[in-house]
């Protein structure tokens, strides 16, 4: 297993090609960003389209390399890292894990203390579904212990997510790591790169076919669809992970067009001065998702 892990760490994945042609959305992205910028928010938008053969067809961005707090959007990276470890025989979906997070007895009120209090047991498969489909922070933090933040960050770097770092655990009420002040960071470009590896030929470079199918089956159970895909029709499925806090909102994922193109959208906003739910940010993401959908899936 150690040899396999070292071989993986030594791999070098290439990020999305630079200098591709425009999708014709640059001015629209800039217009959408103007209102949050005027409110003092940091903003990053990215749109990339790959054709049915897996070749980058076009891309447009607004501040794609601006580092922003990713909130729960980063959980997709943690899920991919867990599945990669499964592929390396370092973990199994059926493995049972005892909940050991120091703040679990306080945070479990959001997810059910009969299942998520300290000492309760969950399988790796249950942790994955809870983290992605229900955005369970206890499950997320348990994975950080199982995988290590260093390994998660190594996977991100090998994928070409050069501006992404996982530094600390997530919580709603009680901070499990009060001594850590440095935050998690990512960019809209980095999140787009990750979703590229979940579809078409490149998925096989990162995950086994079985793990890739399992990941998509979990994403199909996503309960939070209030951002980029809020206005999508039922027939257009968006594989994605949202995130939001009192100061930040984000969403990233992809949908497939009828002609077999993969359309990746990622959006991140943060306003350090705001207190309360990021309803204006989410409304902008609703508009962005609708704009991209109508452009590529009229």
pLDDT of residue 298: 72
pLDDT in the model for residue 199: 79
Question: Distances from the Cα of 51 to the Cαs of 48, 157, 259, in angstroms?
Answer: 10, 25, 8
pLDDT (tens digit, 9 = 90+) per residue, 46-88?
999 999 888 999 999 999 999 999 999 999 999 999 999 999 9
Domains: count for the chain:
1
The yes-or-no verdict on residue 116 having pLDDT over 70 is: yes
Predicted confidence (pLDDT) at residue 10 exceeds the cutoff of 70? no
Residue 151 pLDDT more than 70? yes
Residue 262 has pLDDT above 50, yes or no: yes
- Does residue 272 carry a pLDDT above 70? yes
Helix/strand/coil for 214: helix
| Domain enclosing residue 209, as ranges | 2-296
Q: Is the pLDDT of residue 2 over 90?
A: no
pTM, two decimal places: 0.92
9 has a pLDDT exceeding 60: no
Nearby residues of 164 by Cβ (< 8 Å), 6 or more positions away: 70, 74, 77, 153, 156, 185, 186, 187, 190
Q: What is the DSSP letter of 267?
A: E
- CATH (domain of 149): 3.40.710.10
Mean pLDDT (the chain) is 92
């Amino acid at each position: 297993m150690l040899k396999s892990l070292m071989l993986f760490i030594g791999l070098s994945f290439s990020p999305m090609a630079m200098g591709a042609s425009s999708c014709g959305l640059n001015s629209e992205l800039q217009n959408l960003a103007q209102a949050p910028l005027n409110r003092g928010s940091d903003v990053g938008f990215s749109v990339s389209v790959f054709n049915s053969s897996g070749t980058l067809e076009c891309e447009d961005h607004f501040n794609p390399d601006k580092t922003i707090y990713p909130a729960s959007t980063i959980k997709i990276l943690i899920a991919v890292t867990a599945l990669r470890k499964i592929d390396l025989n370092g973990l199994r979906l059926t493995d049972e894990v005892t909940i050991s997070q120091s703040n679990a007895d306080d945070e479990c009120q959001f997810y059910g203390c009969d299942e998520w209090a300290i000492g309760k047991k969950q399988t790796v498969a249950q942790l994955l579904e809870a983290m992605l489909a229900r955005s369970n922070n206890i499950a997320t933090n348990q994975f950080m212990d199982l995988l290590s933040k260093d390994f998660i960050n190594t996977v991100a770097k090998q994928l070409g997510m050069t501006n992404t770092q996982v530094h600390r655990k997530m919580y709603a009420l009680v901070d499990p790591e009060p001594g850590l002040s440095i935050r998690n960071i990512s960019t809209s470009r980095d999140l787009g790169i990750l979703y590229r590896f979940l579809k078409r030929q490149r998925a096989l470079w990162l995950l086994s076919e079985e793990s890739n199918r399992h990941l998509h089956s979990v994403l199909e159970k996503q309960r939070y669809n209030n951002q980029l895909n809020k206005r999508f029709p039922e027939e257009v499925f968006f594989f994605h992970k949202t995130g939001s806090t009192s100061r930040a909102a984000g969403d990233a994922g992809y949908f497939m067009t009828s002609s077999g193109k993969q359309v990746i959208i990622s959006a991140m906003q943060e306003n350090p001065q705001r207190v309360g739910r990021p309803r204006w940010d989410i409304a902008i993401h609703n508009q962005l998702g609708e704009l991209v959908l109508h452009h590529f899936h009229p």
